[in-house]
Amino acid sequence: MSQETNSAPVTENKMGTMPIGRLVFNMSLPMMISMLVQALYNIVDSIFVAKLSENALTAVSLAFPLQTLIIAVATGTGVGVNALLSKSLGAHKYDDANKIGINGAVLYAFSYVIFLILGLTIVKPFYMSQIGNADVEIMDMGVSYLSTVMIFSFGIFNFTKTPMTVVEKQTVLLNCQLNGEKYDYLIEYDKDDNIIEAGGSDYITNIVKDKKIYKAKILVKYIEAYFFDNGGKC
């Protein structure tokens, strides 16, 4: 006998419910585009600046180390936060995931404040360490360019929280008997019949693992068939 109930909506991220192939494409495409844009940024920037003058191109080129540092901090923080988020979401630890998201936002804000302060204080000394007083025009152009980049670098730091979609969690409870013994199996699944969690015995765990069953209805049929074939019932 099986009993099916509806429980309260739970917060579920697409990384826990979307099919693997679609998820990989969905998650990797934005990152690929982002890396391509980052790679082309300085090239395109240099093409346009070179049309102004040779000194303008030199000023922009000298800013590259600090620009790379901004990108490295933003990307490194994002990779670290995403790794922790993925681990927590995969384990259905949504409270931990929310805390990680908040900590990530704080890190992003803190990083931007640091680069804002650096943009207001060290840009001119940075250029002086590169060219000294050799060319005033390069100095003026470089300071103007790099100050703007660092002061408005908040664009590279993503303060938005990845939205979580609310899915309706369904629960099916199987009450089975075999050789006078009672066995209870609890299966939780989403609106698309994807298994969120299943428990009850090593048998159900082995079914999910060995046969790679990810749909609740199929799993229920396997359990019922097992007990029926061995003289039991559900």
Residues in the chain predicted with pLDDT less than 70, given as ranges, are 1-18, 42, 92, 94, 157-169, 200-211
In tens, the pLDDT along 158-216 reads 544 444 444 456 788 888 888 888 888 888 887 778 777 777 666 666 666 666 777 88
With contact defined as beta carbons under 8 Å apart, do 206 and 156 qualify? no
pLDDT of residue 210: 67
Q: Is 126 helix (H, G, I), strand (E, B) or coil?
A: helix
Cβ contacts of 16 within 8 Å, gap of 6 or more = 89, 90, 92, 196
pLDDT of residue 11: 43
C-alpha torsion sign, points 152, 157, 160, 163: positive
Of 224, 216, 217, residue with least CA distance to 198: 216
Cβ contacts of 212 within 8 Å, gap of 6 or more = none
- Helix-helix angle 54-62:136-151, to 10 degrees: 50
Residue 205 phi/psi, 5-degree rounding, is -65, -40
Look-up of token digits 């922790």: 84
pTM here is 0.55
With contact defined as beta carbons under 8 Å apart, do 166 and 94 qualify? no
